[in-house]
A and B are shown apart, each in its own frame.
Chain A
Amino acid sequence: MESKVAYDNDLNLKATELRLGLPGTDDREEQTLFSARNNKRPLPDTSKECGSKKKSDAQHVDNETAPPTKAQIVGWPPIRSYRKNNLQPKKSDQAEVAGIYVKVSMDGAPYLRKIDLGIYQGYPELLKALESMFKFTIGEYSEREGYKGSEYAPTYEDKDGDWMLVGDVPWDMFMSSCKRLRIMKGSEARGLGCGV
């Protein structure tokens, strides 16, 4: 954005007369910006007023004429704080389980992969990621019949050492009990899915 660049450079390079704005627009821009800047009070106490804005650690600006960066302008853009809170992840425990790396093997593939289970929100994302990592399609999941419609079935080894079909238990339980993943192929896969 030209204006922003010109604005920032205006601050630091004014002494050396360097301008990066479009020719002919500098004077007006500088004038308007300058007059607007003069209205800026330093915002030393905004830290008291913007408790919910985590990005705006308003500090004393060293240079009185330096305009606050966007993050320092209190209450701008005009969005209510509850709206900012809405966009944070719902479950705080999700942050704690980040970094659950498990090995993933696929029948017939020459080497294994590793994925971080913590970055996925749920089964749909995980399955999509596996599909694109190994270039295959998983079928349609149903509780009764497992994964129908393809040769593959995603399975995992749980804490007890048993091989389970991915998707049966709630996501959180899966994340905490999954030790490794294996994408089974062919008859072995079909056997697991169909009400053994």
Chain B
Amino acid sequence: MDPERKKVLERVAVSTFPDEVLERVLVQLKSHKDRSSVSLVCHSWYDAERFSRTHVFIANCYSVTPEIVSRRFPNIRSVSLKGKPRFSDFNLVPPKWGADIRSWLVMFAAKYPFLEELRLKRMTVTDESLEFLALSCPNFKGLSLLSCDGFSTDGLAAIATHCKNLTELDIQENDLNDKSGSWLSCFPENFSSLEVLNFANLSNDVNFEALERLVSRCKSLKVLKVNRNITLEQLPRLLIHAPLLTELGTGSFLQEHPACQYSELENAFNKCMNLNTLSGLSEVTALSLPALYPTCANLTFLNLSCAALQSGELAKLLVHCPCLRRLWVLDTVEDKGLEAVGSNCPLLEELRVFPTDPFDEDTFHGVTESGFIAVSYGCRRLSYVLYFCRQMTNAAVETIVQNCPDFTHFRLCIMNPWQPDYQTNEPMDKAFCAVVKTCTRLQRLAVSGLLTDLTFEYIGKYAKNLETLSVAFAGSSDWGMQCVLGGCPKLRKLEIRDCPFGNAALLSGLDKYESMRSLWMSGCKVTMNGCRLLAKEMPRLNVEVIKVDGSNESQADKVYVYRSVAGPRRDAPPFVLTL
């Protein structure tokens, strides 16, 4: 083709799709992966994408700096940030490790004063930070804190006081200093915009009258999760003011009076016909449970993980919940309860079974492999499972995945470390081999029980879609970890504790770590020298070692490796060594 003509055609091609149109189109894109792809097409698409992006999700707060984010994305209204490594949830990360939101808030105040939403997971947040946020961002609407620490209820008071347009306050599972419930009374008397209120994990009493008034003023309230101090008698008084509720977390479900306010409760639940999610129900008994039956017809998510139900009680309840897709229970329901799950919940996609008292084996029998098998026969659509048990067999798991090949998340926790198949006394290798071979869509896997390197050979070979792998007390040698790092093309997060993997294993992943979000290894056989070598070979990775007091000088007790464009941390505490 004539080169002149080609140039003209190219110019025309670009200019027929002006940036304004492109931005209009891109605004519709919500998925981060899609946006990432779009931004890589060419410079003009990169620019159009960055101007049109309103929500940024930063999976590791140390992978990038606030400055870099604000330079690239000028129009952000909503930020999600994750901080500490996941094993910090289980006390494996010392306090004051970092992930403080402060530096981000300073940037928000300067560059995103119109910020509306902030969702934080495993970050350190102080009361001063919360107040600073409330005062710097007058349009602030939604705050969600999950598994965070460093703040107290004073910080919540600051949010309630200053955020006039607040629609969401979601305080979940945090390690906060719960001084008092007076924060709730800080919402001004004319404040009425709340749509989501979750204070289920706070332990102090709030002023009930203030709560009642708040709920009755907030006509758009859709999510209400109260703490255990709200009684069964008080609940109806809240429910009658919130007919639009789609998610309810009750307080205590214990009847103080025999049967007398039952009808009031039933009436209140009858009004809540939009409920799809129910949680709380602490101290529930067989007597108070029936009050729920009318609301259960449309329930898709039932969280009974705070309710110590017995098998019979659960069975009676589940008869009324045919639409259930997600169910969380305590292992007090035992295998019989799980049989009822299999019989009554054909649409179930997610099951989580939590242990009541992991250390007290004599009193609490919990669930076994039979319960899991029963669920798998009845709930063929099961795709997410988290199962804490004390015994398991390879044959059981093989049956389970045959029944339910669509698992995307398979998290099995056999609570005694190194426990073999209790019937054959073999390692549990065959079980996880079956999982990875059969469940081709598997994205997340947590293994347990006695496992040799064979398990990891299978994982490396078959788990083509695996993104997150959690390993504890497993494996026989470096080879195991090498297999995983050599396979699993989509691996993003690898967290390992107390396994016999050493430097050879660590260093075999050199090519892989930059395509991963992070690696955690604690209680393994990695040494400081191995870590130094890794840091030297891969300058774009942050290789951090957390030193534990009293340990051997040359051992790398806890290693955290992650990719970053921000360079080494500048706020690391003395016990975190950046190599």
Given A45-B549, A86-B306, A124-B258, A36 and B473 contact (CB-CB distance below 8 Å):
yes
A90–B232 Cα gap in the complex (Å)?
14
Nearest residue (CB) in B for A141 is B258
**B19 located at the interface, meaning its Cβ lies under 8 Å from any Cβ of chain A in the complex:** no
A to B CB contacts below 8 Å, 26 in the list: A2-B425, A3-B422, A25-B425, A29-B425, A36-B500, A39-B525, A44-B549, A46-B91, A48-B94, A51-B91, A70-B359, A77-B388, A78-B90, A78-B470, A80-B89, A80-B90, A87-B306, A87-B356, A121-B283, A121-B285, A123-B255, A123-B258, A124-B287, A140-B259, A141-B258, A141-B259
- Give 8 A-B pairs besides A3-B420, A36-B500, A141-B258 with Cβ atoms closer than 8 angstroms: A36-B498, A77-B413, A81-B91, A82-B173, A82-B174, A86-B201, A121-B285, A122-B254
- Which residues of A120-140 have CB atoms within 8 Å of chain B's CB atoms? 121-125, 127, 140
Partner of A142, one of B175, B228, B259, B452: B259
**Residues of B close to A172: CB separation below 8 A:** 256
A35–B87 Cα gap in the complex (Å)?
23
Nearest residue (CB) in A for B330 is A87
A22–B174 Cα gap in the complex (Å)?
46
A177–B308 Cα gap in the complex (Å)?
30
Interface size bracket, A side? 35 or more
**Residues of B close to A49: CB separation below 8 A:** 91-92, 94
Partner-B contacts on A (CB < 8 A): 1-4, 7, 21-22, 25, 29, 32-33, 35-36, 38-41, 44-46, 48-53, 55, 70-71, 73-83, 85-87, 90, 121-125, 127, 140-143, 167, 170-172
**Residues of B close to A36: CB separation below 8 A:** 417-418, 473, 498, 500
- Which residues of B398-438 have CB atoms within 8 Å of chain A's CB atoms? 413, 415-420, 422, 425, 427
Partner-A contacts on B (CB < 8 A): 87, 89-92, 94, 147, 173-175, 201, 203, 228-229, 252, 254-260, 282-283, 285, 287, 305-306, 308, 354-359, 388, 391, 413, 415-420, 422, 425, 427, 450, 452, 470, 472-473, 476, 497-500, 523-525, 548-552, 555, 557
Q: Do A76 and B90 touch (CB < 8 A)?
A: yes
A67–B92 Cα gap in the complex (Å)?
18
Question: What is the distance, in angstroms, from A7's C-beta to the closest C-beta of chain B?
Answer: 8
Q: Do B415 and A77 touch (CB < 8 A)?
A: yes
Nearest residue (CB) in B for A39 is B500
Question: What is the distance, in angstroms, from A24's C-beta to the closest C-beta of chain B?
Answer: 9
Q: Do A74 and B524 touch (CB < 8 A)?
A: no
Q: Do B359 and A71 touch (CB < 8 A)?
A: yes
Question: What is the distance, in angstroms, from A121's C-beta to the closest C-beta of chain B?
Answer: 6
**Residues of A close to B552: CB separation below 8 A:** 41
Nearest residue (CB) in A for B174 is A82
A172–B356 Cα gap in the complex (Å)?
27
Nearest residue (CB) in B for A82 is B173
Q: Do A35 and B476 touch (CB < 8 A)?
A: yes
Question: What is the distance, in angstroms, from B421's C-beta to the closest C-beta of chain A?
Answer: 10
**Residues of A close to B388: CB separation below 8 A:** 77, 79
Q: Do B419 and A1 touch (CB < 8 A)?
A: yes
Q: Do A33 and B418 touch (CB < 8 A)?
A: yes
**Residues of A close to B359: CB separation below 8 A:** 55, 70-71
Nearest residue (CB) in A for B415 is A77
**Residues of B close to A78: CB separation below 8 A:** 89-90, 413, 470, 472
**Residues of B close to A71: CB separation below 8 A:** 359
Q: Do B551 and A87 touch (CB < 8 A)?
A: no
A73–B359 Cα gap in the complex (Å)?
11
A190–B395 Cα gap in the complex (Å)?
61
A1–B362 Cα gap in the complex (Å)?
12
Q: Do A77 and B498 touch (CB < 8 A)?
A: no
Given A77-B358, A124-B285, A41 and B557 contact (CB-CB distance below 8 Å):
yes
Given A1-B416, A2-B422, A142-B260, A44 and B550 contact (CB-CB distance below 8 Å):
yes
A143–B499 Cα gap in the complex (Å)?
63
Q: Do B355 and A76 touch (CB < 8 A)?
A: no
The 10 closest A-B pairs by CB, nearest first: A75-B90, A141-B258, A123-B258, A49-B91, A82-B173, A77-B415, A124-B287, A171-B256, A50-B91, A86-B306
**Residues of A close to B422: CB separation below 8 A:** 1-3
Question: What is the distance, in angstroms, from B176's C-beta to the closest C-beta of chain A?
Answer: 10
Q: Do A167 and B498 touch (CB < 8 A)?
A: no
Nearest residue (CB) in A for B94 is A49
Question: What is the distance, in angstroms, from A55's C-beta to the closest C-beta of chain B?
Answer: 5
A4–B449 Cα gap in the complex (Å)?
12
Q: Which of A22, A78, A86, A87 has the most CB of B within 10 A?
A: A78
Question: What is the distance, in angstroms, from B225's C-beta to the closest C-beta of chain A?
Answer: 13
Q: Do A76 and B260 touch (CB < 8 A)?
A: no
Q: Do B415 and A75 touch (CB < 8 A)?
A: no
A48–B575 Cα gap in the complex (Å)?
14
